[in-house]
């Protein structure tokens, strides 16, 4: 189980990604001369606030310092706004408004690209080593592997006398040995441990020892062109996986696999427990997911607002304010209900 410090680091990391998102909206709005009334870190009662001299923006930290939001003057279509005030969002050109809306998701993709660039510049480009042993990524609590003292990062070199390089090879050896004491050879920190006897248990009709693993990863030094290419390619590839995941959920008519805020924090906390590299990699995934999720054409999300603006570009007339307000409210209610459902289910 992740420690309190791991959960704290997880919350700070996710909050940072939301701050990146909102900062994208803020910078784009200021670039186009829009008036930003408030930039808040967190929600609830305001603890600290500051308004720079000559700035219309109040920067504040609230009592619940989780997530963030930016309040741009004139964004609420239900408000009565001065049509002669050029600093209002609603009085800007449709292209300026569209770019401000898209700036948040773009900032998340930019952050993801920066994470890939920095991580690969420091560690190198990860590649599968077909000749290396299988590495344990996770040991399930209470499992035979946990009771035998196996740890994440250990390498499974051999099982029942058979060399192990891939997960499939370990499964092939273990699946028919439920209840049978089996010898495993483990390498830890480069040293081969004495033989360990583990008795697999039956789960799902086959023998398992309770670990999740993967092949050995080796790192090669990356050139600048490679870093630049990968910083673009990896977020794009991960986005395609997100699209495929949504398509699968629609096909199955199931929300299985969808994570709520609590599950997200738990996942990041687990990765933080394993080390900085895993922590940074999960933040990359969440940054892409946050950018992609906000681009979905759902009212109350950036993608919904962008859809309304695209309608305005095509039809050359603004969408009905009452319809936009109602659609946004309905979208918000549905999103909140979905988040609550997914969180409770998890």
Q: Which residues are catalytic?
A: 22
**272 burial level (CB within 10 Å; 0-12, 13-18, 19+):** buried
Distance from C-alpha of 157 to C-alpha of 216, rounded to nearest angstrom:
11
Query: Comparing C-alpha atoms, which of 336, 292, 327 is closest to residue 308?
Result: 327
- DSSP letter at 303 equals H
Beta strands in the chain (DSSP E): 36-50, 58-72, 125-129, 134-139, 155-159, 162-163, 182-188, 191-192, 196-198, 201-203, 206-208, 211-214, 216-220
Residue 20, number of CB atoms within 10 A of its CB:
20
Please state, in angstroms and rounded to a whole number, the distance separating the CA atoms of residues 340 and 346.
10
Please choose, from the candidates 170, 202, 201, the residue with its C-alpha nearest in 3D space to the C-alpha of residue 184: 170
**Tokens coding 13:** 């990391």
In terms of C-beta distances under 8 Å and separation of at least 24 residues, what long-range contacts does 8-14 make, across chains too?
Answer: 9/268, 9/269, 9/272, 9/279, 10/265, 10/266, 10/268, 10/269, 10/272, 11/66, 11/265, 13/268, 13/272, 13/279, 13/283, 13/286, 14/264, 14/265, 14/268, 14/283, 14/286
8 A C-beta contact, residue 192 and residue 111: no
Give, as one character, the DSSP assignment of residue 268: H
CA triple 35-54-78, angle to 5 deg:
20
CA–CA distance, 235 with 253 (Å, rounded to integer):
27
Residue 123: name the closest of 283, 284, 286, 276 by CA: 276
């Amino acid at each position: 189980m992740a420690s309190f410090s791991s959960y704290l680091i997880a919350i700070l990391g996710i909050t940072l990604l939301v701050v990146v998102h909102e900062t994208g909206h803020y910078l784009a709005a200021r670039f186009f001369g829009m008036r930003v009334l408030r930039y808040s870190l967190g929600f609830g009662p305001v603890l600290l606030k500051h308004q720079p001299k000559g700035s219309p923006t109040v920067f504040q930290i609230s009592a619940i310092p989780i997530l963030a939001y930016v309040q741009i003057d004139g964004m609420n279509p239900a408000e009565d706004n001065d049509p002669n005030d050029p600093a209002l969002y609603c009085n800007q050109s449709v292209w300026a408004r569209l770019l401000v809306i898209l700036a948040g998701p773009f900032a998340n993709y930019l952050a993801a690209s920066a994470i890939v660039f920095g991580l690969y510049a420091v560690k190198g480009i990860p590649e599968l080593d077909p000749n290396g042993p299988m590495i344990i990524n996770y040991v399930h609590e209470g499992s035979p592997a946990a009771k035998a003292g196996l740890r994440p990062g250990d390498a499974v070199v051999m099982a029942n006398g058979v060399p192990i390089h891939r997960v499939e090879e370990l499964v092939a050896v273990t699946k028919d040995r439920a209840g049978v004491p089996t010898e495993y050879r483990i390498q830890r920190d480069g040293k081969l441990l004495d033989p360990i006897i583990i008795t697999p248990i039956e789960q799902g009709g086959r023998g398992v020892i309770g670990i999740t693993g993967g092949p050995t990863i080796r790192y090669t030094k990356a050139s600048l062109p490679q870093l630049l290419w990968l910083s673009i390619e990896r977020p794009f590839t991960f986005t395609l996986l997100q699209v495929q995941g949504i398509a699968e959920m629609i096909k199955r008519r199931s929300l299985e696999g969808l994570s709520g805020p609590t599950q997200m924090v738990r996942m990041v906390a687990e990765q933080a427990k394993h080390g900085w590299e895993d922590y940074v990699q999960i933040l990359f995934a969440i940054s892409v997911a946050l950018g992609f999720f906000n681009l979905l054409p759902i009212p109350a999300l950036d993608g919904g607002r962008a859809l309304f603006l695209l309608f305005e570009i095509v039809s050359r007339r603004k969408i009905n304010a009452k319809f936009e307000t109602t659609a946004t409210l309905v979208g918000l209610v549905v999103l909140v209900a979905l988040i609550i459902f997914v969180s409770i289910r998890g």
